[in-house]
Amino acid sequence: MDIKQTYNEWLENAVEDKDLKAELESIKNNEDEIYDRFYTALKFGTAGLRGIIGAGTNRMNIYVVRQATQGLANYVLKKYGNGSVAISHDSRIKADLFMNEAARVLAANGIKVYITSELQPTPVLSYLVRYFKCQAGIMVTASHNPAAYNGYKAYGEDGCQMTDVAANTVYDEISKLDMFKDVKIADFDEAVKSGMIEYVDESVYDTYLEKVMEQQVNPGVCKGADLKVVYTPLNGTGNKLVRKVLGKIGVNDVVVVPEQELPDGNFTTCPYPNPEIKEALAKGLELCEKEQPDLLLATDPDADRVGIAVKDYDGSYRLISGNEDGVMLTNYILSCKKASGKLPEKPVVVKTIVTTKLINKLCEKYGCELKNVLTGFKYIGEVILNLEKKHEENRYLFGFEESYGYLSGTYVRDKDAVVASMLVCEMAAYYKKQGKSLAEVIDGLYEEFGYYLNQTYSFEFDGAAGMQKMSDIMTAVRDNTPKSIAGYDVVKVSDYFLRKETDVATGSVTDIDLPKSNVIALHLADDNAVIIRPSGTEPKIKLYITSVGKDKDNAAEICEKLVVASKEILGVE
């Protein structure tokens, strides 16, 4: 690709968006800037597109969005003959513009479009795909990335994010297109008049909330519990629906963080609007000191994940990890349903392979089948789909991943912070009526099963040399698998790339019935574990450590030893 030629083509053709045109003019003599914007194109993968907003093939802008949508339109038309697509957006900068541009392209291709009249959470988009029986869906969001980013998540007809196969097919279609000459565009207002673009009626969101409400474990438990909540939507999409559902279940004392209440794609008070990061919760924790609630809820900008903090024994606020919240919710659902006789036969819980092994203990206790899937909520959605095909979807109880994503029920096929916020509050009210805080609940589970500490570490490898280094590390671990780590014997090795699991003691090898993924899990004595996973989208290797101790200090001590030894194995600092 001739980068200068591509830049000149943009200068000549990218004339509709005056901001982009000005941006292009301003970098005319800056070769480094031109190179960075045009040396590659944003790749359409299973997460769709994601990049910095701006002019260029390596940026998010109307031309890149149009080209991607034309590729998606070609995919839908070739696979289904015709069809419909649902689109929504979050609070990101230009998110509504990108939604409208995508709608124009689809309408021009004869594909019916359902769009939302205002920003909505990602799980609502998943619901709309299923509600309208669409062939695909688009959510304009960059999830928890910094404010400079926007993105475009693509969904299949089941309401799950696109599979590798579908995403690759769409990418092939996109790659054939000249983004200025091969994209069809309809007039937006005309498409609305003709019915090719239709705004979703408000009543549809009521049906979504009804489905959320059906997931209550103990309806009415919040009434009379005097539960007080501080809530922050982190300037995203959760504000209306989360507060609405909390009001419906009887949680009326909800104080919203004022600086983060309204949609704002600049995220001025939380540069990284990710509930996994303590800094993102700083304003919420400040307000907790003043309001003294039972708990803090924080939903990320597209409201598919929720983080919480709970009042600790000394009155301070304790951050609860995604693993801990998932464990408590699983325990709450299983124990209450068993006590009320509502636990289905052969119940199913689903977690990702990097999520806490403490769930294994809970599932054993309640006779529940535990399914492990690869990282990515679409794989949890796939389990639901397979159960649905056998008319056994009622067996599915709960699915979660350590990065604060949870789903109860089968009405959507993506993680849902609206239902998770409802269940967290219901659970807190249930235990509060018993005189217990959520801090006591999680500590009680640790006392029963052992203190499972789960920590994640990331190591960056820049540039092409970095990608090669990551590949070399994974090859070295495969070729020279350690026999022990920090004095703990390796008892089992799960290689998700080779799709083989080896029992070290017997040498027996079994197949792993999951898609191929470049992940190695080293299972150690005493239920400790080290999982090594290169990121598919960033030059990073992630290390997931599980350490099991008698108490927190003991688990932390074991974790530190495992981290030091694992770094040595990987050859990183």
| pLDDT tens digits for range 75-102 | 999 999 999 999 999 999 999 999 999 9
Place of tokens 């669409």: 134
Cβ–Cβ < 8 Å for 305, 403: yes
Three-state DSSP at 525 gives: helix
Average of pLDDT values for 544-566? 96
SS3 306: strand
Task: Please report, in angstroms and rounded to a whole number, the separation of the first and last CA atoms in the chain.
Answer: 37
211 falls in which pLDDT band (50, 70, 90)? Answer: very high
Indicate the range of 462-471, 526-535, 557-566 predicted with least confidence.
462-471
Q: For all residues of the chain together, what is the average pLDDT?
A: 95
Q: Encode pLDDT of 484-522 as tens digits.
A: 999 999 999 999 999 999 999 999 999 999 999 999 999
* Total Cβ atoms within 10 A of residue 36: 17
Residue 467 has pLDDT above 90, yes or no: no
Question: Residue 539's pLDDT is what?
Answer: 77
CA dihedral sign, ordered 549, 554, 559, 562: negative
**Residue 144 has what pLDDT?**
87
For 313-335, the pLDDT digits (tens) are 999 999 999 999 999 999 999 99
Predicted confidence (pLDDT) per residue in 214-241, tens digit: 999 999 999 999 999 999 999 999 999 9
If you average pLDDT over residues 457-466, what whole number do you get?
83
Per-residue pLDDT of 114-134, as tens digits, reads: 999 999 999 999 999 999 999
Residues marked active site are found at 143
Tell me, what's the pLDDT at 465?
78
Check residue 394 and report its DSSP letter.
G
Among 52-61, 459-468, 528-537, which stretch is predicted with the lowest mean pLDDT? 459-468
User: Using one digit for the tens of pLDDT, what is the confidence trace for 397-418?
Assistant: 999 999 999 999 999 999 999 9
Per-residue pLDDT, averaged over 176-199, amounts to 97
DSSP 60: B
pLDDT at 257: 98
CA 318 to chain centre: 23
High-pLDDT (> 90) share of the chain, %: 92
Q: What's the gap between Cα 457 and its chain centre?
A: 18
Alpha-carbon span 326 to 420, nearest angstrom: 10
pLDDT digits (tens, 9 = 90+) for 256-298: 999 999 999 999 999 899 999 899 999 999 999 999 999 999 9
Separation of alpha carbons 143 and 98, rounded Å: 15
Q: State which H helix or E strand residue 348 sits in.
A: strand 348-352
Query: Whose structure tokens read 């507060």?
Result: 243
What pLDDT does 1 receive?
A: 62
Q: State the pLDDT at residue 260.
A: 98
> b or e along 268-295 (b: 16 or more beta carbons within 10 Å of the residue's beta carbon)?
ebbeebbbbeeebbebbbebbeeeebbb
| Token pair belonging to 185 | 């565009």
Strand ranges across the sheet with 405-407: 369-373, 348-352, 396-401, 405-407
CB 349 within 8 A of CB 359: yes
pLDDT single digits (tens) 39-73: 999 999 877 999 999 999 999 999 999 999 999 99
3-state secondary structure 419-487: HHHHHHHHHHHHHHCCCCCHHHHHHHHHHHHCEEEEEEEEEECCHHHHHHHHHHHHHHHHHCCCCEECC
The answer to whether 154 and 42 have CB atoms below 8 angstroms apart is no
- Give the model's pLDDT for residue 536: 63
Distances from the Cα of 426 to the Cα of 215, 319, 416, angstroms: 11, 18, 16
